[in-house]
Chain A
Amino acid sequence: DGGITQSPKYLFRKEGQNVTLSCEQNLNHDAMYWYRQDPGQGLRLIYYSQIVNDFQKGDIAEGYSVSREKKESFPLTVTSAQKNPTAFYLCASSIGSPLNEQFFGPGTRLTVL
Chain B
Amino acid sequence: EDKVVQSPLSLVVHEGDTVTLNCSYEVTNFRSLLWYKQEKKAPTFLFMLTSSGIEKKSGRLSSILDKKELFSILNITATQTGDSAVYLCAVEAPPFADEKLTFGTGTRLTIIP
Contact = CB atoms under 8 A, between A and B. Distances in A.
B50 A48 contact: no
Interface residues on B, range: 20 to 34
A42 B42 contact: no
Interface in B63-113: 88, 90, 92, 94, 97-106
A105 B105 contact: no
A96 B6 CA distance: 26
B99 A56 contact: no
Given A42-B4, A42-B88, A99-B31, A90 B101 contact: no
Nearest to A90: B42
Interface residues of A, number: 28
A45 B100 contact: yes
A97 B32 CA distance: 12
B32 to A, nearest CB: 6
A102 B31 contact: no
A7 B99 CA distance: 25
B48 interface: yes
B52 to A, nearest CB: 16
A101 B4 contact: no
Interface of A: 4, 31, 33, 35, 40-45, 48, 50, 56, 58, 90, 94, 96-107
Given A43-B90, A48-B98, A105-B42, 12 more contacts: A42-B103, A42-B104, A42-B105, A97-B99, A100-B99, A101-B48, A103-B45, A104-B36, A104-B43, A104-B44, A106-B41, A107-B42
